[in-house]
């Protein structure tokens, strides 16, 4: 009978310990800055339209190309296989520096030198591709969507002139949430 009295508390302690070990901490469950940005990009795609004559837009999948090896590009991997507008997302890592950017509907510029960013923006100037980056001043430099940190929170800027040049239609709902910026020469 004394072994039974010891067995139940030991089993209870063992089960409690297993729960502690298998339960991740709350801090580990909180998404990081770049995971938040990837989730924001995913949600933005639902509020954007590409021109009807866009050949990549007729593909069965939505191709998101990543140029650079920064943390934003790495976080984009979490979108692989998710669907947006009934199309699965395909993440494609481009070589550094990217030479050809074809088949991309979204181009993520992740941790590239300013000269590379400028070159890619020039190459895609009138191509129907959504350009996104978290490099400083990206939207003001001709990119469509640029992420910024304001008071410790992730926000985004939209350059409507660049979006029009790329022939992208952005819903009014999304524009209300964005900080609208103009290009600086």
Q: 21-31 as b/e, with b when 16 or more CB fall inside 10 Å?
A: eeeeeeeeeee
Residues shown for the chain: 185
What φ, ψ does residue 169 adopt, rounded to 5°? -105, 125
For the chain, domains (ranges, CATH) are: 30-180 (3.40.50)
Q: 79-104 as b/e, with b when 16 or more CB fall inside 10 Å?
A: beeeebeebebbbbbbeeebeebeeb
Q: Mention every residue, 6+ apart, whose C-beta is less than 8 A from residue 132.
A: 41, 106, 107, 108, 109, 143, 144, 145, 146, 147
What is the 8-class DSSP label of residue 95? P
Per-residue pLDDT of the chain (185 residues; tens, 9 = 90+): 555 454 444 333 333 333 333 334 334 456 799 999 999 999 999 999 999 887 655 778 999 999 988 899 899 999 999 999 999 999 999 887 666 778 899 999 988 888 888 888 998 888 999 999 999 999 999 999 999 999 999 999 999 999 999 999 999 999 999 999 998 87
Distance CA 45, CA 86 (A): 12
């Amino acid at each position: 009978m004394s072994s039974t009295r010891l067995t139940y508390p030991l089993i209870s302690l063992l089960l409690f310990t297993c729960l502690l070990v298998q339960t991740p901490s709350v801090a580990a469950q909180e998404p990081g800055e770049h995971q938040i940005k990837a989730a924001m990009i995913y949600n933005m795609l639902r509020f954007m339209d590409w021109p009807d004559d866009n050949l990549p837009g007729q593909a069965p999948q939505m191709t998101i190309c990543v140029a650079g090896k920064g943390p934003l590009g790495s976080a984009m991997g979490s979108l692989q296989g998710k669907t947006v507008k009934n199309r699965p997302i395909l993440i494609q890592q481009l070589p550094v520096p990217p030479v050809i950017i074809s088949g991309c509907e979204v181009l993520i510029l992740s941790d590239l030198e300013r000269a590379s960013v400028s070159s890619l923006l020039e190459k895609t100037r009138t191509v129907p591709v959504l350009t996104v980056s978290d490099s400083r001043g990206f939207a003001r430099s001709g990119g469509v969507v640029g992420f910024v940190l304001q008071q410790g929170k992730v926000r985004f800027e939209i350059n409507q002139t660049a979006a029009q040049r790329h022939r992208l239609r952005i819903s009014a709902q999304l524009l209300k949430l964005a900080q609208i910026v103009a290009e600086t020469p």
